[in-house]
Amino acid sequence: MQSQEKAFPVSWDQLHRDARALAWRLSGQGQWRALVCVTRGGLVPSAIVARELGIRMIETVCVASYHDYQTQGDLQVLKRVSDAVVDVGEGHGDQVLIVDDLVDTGKTARLVRDMLPKAHFATVYAKPQGCEVVDTFVTEVSQDTWIYFPWDMGLQFVPPLHDGRS
Protein backbone atom coordinates (compact mmCIF):
# COMPACT_ATOMS: atom_id res chain seq x y z
CA MET A 1 0.00 0.00 0.00
CA GLN A 2 1.46 3.34 -1.05
CA SER A 3 0.99 6.24 1.40
CA GLN A 4 -2.70 5.34 1.61
CA GLU A 5 -4.19 5.33 5.09
CA LYS A 6 -7.64 3.89 4.49
CA ALA A 7 -8.56 0.43 3.26
CA PHE A 8 -11.72 -0.49 1.36
CA PRO A 9 -11.94 -4.27 0.97
CA VAL A 10 -14.42 -5.34 -1.72
CA SER A 11 -15.88 -8.86 -1.60
CA TRP A 12 -16.94 -10.85 -4.65
CA ASP A 13 -20.59 -10.27 -3.69
CA GLN A 14 -20.09 -6.53 -3.32
CA LEU A 15 -18.25 -6.26 -6.63
CA HIS A 16 -21.02 -8.18 -8.37
CA ARG A 17 -23.69 -5.90 -6.88
CA ASP A 18 -21.71 -2.78 -7.78
CA ALA A 19 -21.02 -3.94 -11.35
CA ARG A 20 -24.74 -4.69 -11.82
CA ALA A 21 -25.51 -1.22 -10.44
CA LEU A 22 -23.11 0.20 -13.04
CA ALA A 23 -24.94 -1.72 -15.78
CA TRP A 24 -28.25 -0.40 -14.50
CA ARG A 25 -26.95 3.19 -14.68
CA LEU A 26 -25.67 2.58 -18.21
CA SER A 27 -28.80 0.84 -19.47
CA GLY A 28 -30.57 4.01 -20.61
CA GLN A 29 -27.53 5.95 -21.77
CA GLY A 30 -26.90 4.53 -25.20
CA GLN A 31 -27.08 1.70 -27.68
CA TRP A 32 -23.73 0.05 -27.07
CA ARG A 33 -22.38 -1.88 -30.05
CA ALA A 34 -19.09 -2.83 -28.39
CA LEU A 35 -17.46 -2.92 -24.97
CA VAL A 36 -13.77 -2.29 -24.36
CA CYS A 37 -12.45 -3.79 -21.17
CA VAL A 38 -9.41 -2.18 -19.54
CA THR A 39 -7.33 -5.10 -18.32
CA ARG A 40 -6.77 -6.55 -15.92
CA GLY A 41 -8.94 -4.85 -13.34
CA GLY A 42 -11.83 -4.31 -15.72
CA LEU A 43 -12.18 -7.98 -16.71
CA VAL A 44 -14.70 -9.03 -14.06
CA PRO A 45 -16.83 -5.86 -14.11
CA SER A 46 -16.82 -5.94 -17.93
CA ALA A 47 -18.15 -9.50 -18.00
CA ILE A 48 -20.99 -8.53 -15.68
CA VAL A 49 -21.83 -5.31 -17.54
CA ALA A 50 -21.69 -7.05 -20.95
CA ARG A 51 -24.05 -9.78 -19.71
CA GLU A 52 -26.52 -7.33 -18.20
CA LEU A 53 -26.59 -5.06 -21.26
CA GLY A 54 -26.48 -7.85 -23.87
CA ILE A 55 -23.22 -6.66 -25.43
CA ARG A 56 -21.51 -9.39 -27.48
CA MET A 57 -18.65 -7.48 -29.13
CA ILE A 58 -16.01 -7.35 -26.40
CA GLU A 59 -12.47 -6.09 -26.85
CA THR A 60 -9.59 -5.48 -24.47
CA VAL A 61 -7.06 -2.74 -24.10
CA CYS A 62 -4.12 -3.81 -21.98
CA VAL A 63 -2.42 -1.12 -19.94
CA ALA A 64 -0.01 -1.78 -17.09
CA SER A 65 0.25 0.92 -14.45
CA TYR A 66 0.58 -0.84 -11.08
CA HIS A 67 3.75 -2.82 -11.65
CA ASP A 68 4.23 -3.88 -8.02
CA TYR A 69 0.56 -3.98 -6.90
CA GLN A 70 1.16 -1.00 -4.63
CA THR A 71 2.34 2.09 -6.44
CA GLN A 72 1.29 3.49 -9.77
CA GLY A 73 4.21 3.78 -12.18
CA ASP A 74 4.70 4.66 -15.82
CA LEU A 75 1.92 3.55 -18.14
CA GLN A 76 2.74 0.79 -20.55
CA VAL A 77 0.32 -0.10 -23.38
CA LEU A 78 0.64 -3.84 -23.89
CA LYS A 79 -2.23 -4.17 -26.40
CA ARG A 80 -4.19 -1.48 -28.23
CA VAL A 81 -7.86 -1.53 -29.20
CA SER A 82 -8.50 -3.17 -32.57
CA ASP A 83 -9.39 -0.98 -35.54
CA ALA A 84 -12.67 -2.90 -35.91
CA VAL A 85 -13.84 -1.56 -32.54
CA VAL A 86 -12.41 1.93 -33.03
CA ASP A 87 -14.44 2.16 -36.25
CA VAL A 88 -17.76 1.16 -34.60
CA GLY A 89 -20.45 3.78 -35.21
CA GLU A 90 -19.05 7.05 -36.48
CA GLY A 91 -15.47 6.15 -35.64
CA HIS A 92 -13.27 7.12 -32.70
CA GLY A 93 -15.35 4.91 -30.41
CA ASP A 94 -18.87 6.19 -30.99
CA GLN A 95 -21.32 3.62 -29.51
CA VAL A 96 -18.48 1.99 -27.59
CA LEU A 97 -18.53 1.50 -23.84
CA ILE A 98 -15.22 1.37 -21.94
CA VAL A 99 -15.30 -0.42 -18.58
CA ASP A 100 -12.68 -0.52 -15.83
CA ASP A 101 -12.79 -1.40 -12.15
CA LEU A 102 -11.42 1.90 -10.88
CA VAL A 103 -10.31 5.35 -11.94
CA ASP A 104 -7.60 6.52 -9.53
CA THR A 105 -5.44 9.40 -10.78
CA GLY A 106 -7.02 9.28 -14.25
CA LYS A 107 -3.74 8.48 -16.06
CA THR A 108 -4.91 5.16 -17.51
CA ALA A 109 -8.37 6.52 -18.28
CA ARG A 110 -6.93 9.49 -20.19
CA LEU A 111 -4.69 7.20 -22.22
CA VAL A 112 -7.59 4.92 -23.17
CA ARG A 113 -9.92 7.86 -23.80
CA ASP A 114 -7.37 9.25 -26.27
CA MET A 115 -7.73 5.98 -28.23
CA LEU A 116 -11.54 6.25 -28.23
CA PRO A 117 -12.45 9.92 -27.73
CA LYS A 118 -16.18 9.46 -28.40
CA ALA A 119 -16.60 6.37 -26.21
CA HIS A 120 -18.50 6.36 -22.93
CA PHE A 121 -16.12 5.57 -20.04
CA ALA A 122 -17.54 3.78 -17.00
CA THR A 123 -15.91 2.50 -13.82
CA VAL A 124 -17.26 0.79 -10.75
CA TYR A 125 -15.21 2.90 -8.33
CA ALA A 126 -13.74 6.39 -8.67
CA LYS A 127 -11.33 8.60 -6.75
CA PRO A 128 -11.55 12.41 -6.90
CA GLN A 129 -8.46 12.93 -9.10
CA GLY A 130 -9.95 10.71 -11.81
CA CYS A 131 -13.67 11.49 -11.56
CA GLU A 132 -13.71 14.07 -14.35
CA VAL A 133 -12.23 11.56 -16.82
CA VAL A 134 -15.07 9.05 -16.56
CA ASP A 135 -18.67 9.52 -17.61
CA THR A 136 -20.33 7.09 -15.19
CA PHE A 137 -19.29 5.42 -11.94
CA VAL A 138 -21.03 3.82 -8.97
CA THR A 139 -19.05 4.61 -5.82
CA GLU A 140 -16.59 7.39 -5.04
CA VAL A 141 -13.89 6.79 -2.45
CA SER A 142 -11.35 9.25 -1.08
CA GLN A 143 -8.01 9.61 -2.83
CA ASP A 144 -6.17 8.20 0.20
CA THR A 145 -8.18 4.96 0.17
CA TRP A 146 -6.67 1.75 -1.18
CA ILE A 147 -9.29 -0.56 -2.69
CA TYR A 148 -8.61 -4.24 -2.12
CA PHE A 149 -10.33 -6.17 -4.90
CA PRO A 150 -11.44 -9.75 -4.30
CA TRP A 151 -8.95 -11.21 -6.79
CA ASP A 152 -6.12 -9.70 -4.71
CA MET A 153 -7.23 -11.11 -1.35
CA GLY A 154 -7.38 -14.39 0.53
CA LEU A 155 -9.30 -15.37 3.64
CA GLN A 156 -7.48 -14.66 6.87
CA PHE A 157 -8.07 -13.57 10.46
CA VAL A 158 -8.55 -9.85 11.03
CA PRO A 159 -8.06 -8.54 14.58
CA PRO A 160 -10.74 -6.26 16.06
CA LEU A 161 -10.19 -2.51 15.76
CA HIS A 162 -9.72 -2.09 19.50
CA ASP A 163 -6.70 -4.40 19.31
CA GLY A 164 -4.63 -1.64 17.72
CA ARG A 165 -3.01 -4.02 15.22
CA SER A 166 -5.24 -3.21 12.25
Tell me which of 13, 100, 144, 163 is the catalytic residue. 100
Q: Is 152 a catalytic residue?
A: no
Rounded to whole angstroms, the maximal C-alpha distance in the chain is 58
Cα(102)–Cα(99) distance, rounded to whole angstroms?
A: 9
- Examine residue 40 and say whether the peptide bond preceding it is cis (omega within 30 degrees of 0): yes
Helical H runs in the chain?
12-26, 43-53, 83-86, 107-115
Q: Is 101 a catalytic residue?
A: yes
Tell me which of 83, 104, 135, 144 is the catalytic residue. 104
Cα(4)–Cα(2) distance, rounded to whole angstroms?
A: 5
Q: Is 100 a catalytic residue?
A: yes
Tell me which of 13, 18, 87, 101 is the catalytic residue. 101
Q: Supply the residues annotated as catalytic.
A: 100-101, 104
